[in-house]
Amino acid sequence: MAIIEVSNLKKSYGTLEVLKQITFNVNKNDVIAVIGPSGSGKSTMLRSLAHLEEINGGSICISGDYLVKDGVYPRQQEIKQITAKMGMVFQHFNLFPHLTVKQNLELAPKLVKKESPASLEKRSMELLTKIGLADRASAYPNKLSGGQKQRVAIARALMMNPEILLFDEPTSALDPELTGEVLQVMKELAEEQMTMIVVTHEMGFAKEVANKVVFMDNGEIVESGHPDELFSNPQFERTKAFLSRSL
């Protein structure tokens, strides 16, 4: 069953056409790796799903509700309800620097869902335990390594109980020795059947964890398929050229 349906998505910045008729579906429990050269529109596509960008045409349907239909957005209240089904993790973590780790986790559910202090305390400590950072609950982000910051950002997204998690190059800002701990947390989420779209340059992760790889180039999806198929037998010259540079 499709949990995300994207059809004919178009996005331009001024005269620059960044996304050209993007169409794809995400099924429940899919782990989709989005790969492609810098500037191909991967972030714009992901940000459009989370309504961090408004698109110029096409439709995005999230578990049965249109975030945008034929380029037309519903009222703000409805948009909020739909985007609440998704959590996003960014390359640069985007933690609140003036809040502790635990406060970072608790802020959104406290403000948005008016969750009780007892429930917040219980769930935030459970999630911090899950990512191995319960002992850093009172630390401020600047005291953490990049890998720890990104694990906190993932836990913070999980606090809102999203149906879908979107990751935009979650390990690209990390020193190589810190990427493993973040990929491990993501792998565990995949094993727990979390639906995920991951923009990544980590081909090993894509091969091992994703059930579908989407290759984007120049604002288009060139091809997509199971990693075993796409990596070993790419159908298009553009995919071959990209993979030969990346694998």
Q: What is the dihedral of CA 217, 168, 187, 66, to 10 degrees?
A: -90
Task: Examine residue 44 and tell whether it contacts ligand ADP (CB under 6 A).
Answer: yes
Nearer to ligand ADP, 93 or 120 (CB): 93
CA atoms within 13 A on the CB side of 11: 28
Min dist CB 13 to ligand ADP, Å, is 3
Nearer to ligand ADP, 16 or 111 (CB): 16
3-state secondary structure of 65: strand
Question: Contact with ligand ADP (CB under 6 A): which of 6, 9, 22, 43?
Answer: 43
Phi/psi for 66 (5° steps) reads -80, 115
Token match 């799903």: residue? 49
From 36-44, 150-158, 173-181, 204-212, give the range in contact with ligand ADP by CB under 6 A: 36-44
Element (H, E) at 134: none
Task: Examine residue 42 and tell whether it contacts ligand ADP (CB under 6 A).
Answer: yes
Task: Examine residue 15 and tell whether it contacts ligand ADP (CB under 6 A).
Answer: no
The C-alpha atoms of residue 185 and residue 130 are separated, in whole angstroms, by 9
Q: Which does 44 bind (CB under 5 to 8 A by kind): Mg ion, ligand ADP, none?
A: ligand ADP
Q: Which does 244 bind (CB under 5 to 8 A by kind): Mg ion, ligand ADP, none?
A: none
The site for Mg ion (CB under 5 A) is made up of 43
28 to each of 4, 35, 112, 193, 234, how far by Cα in Å? 8, 20, 25, 8, 25
Residues that bind ligand ADP (CB under 6 A): 13, 16, 18, 36, 38-44
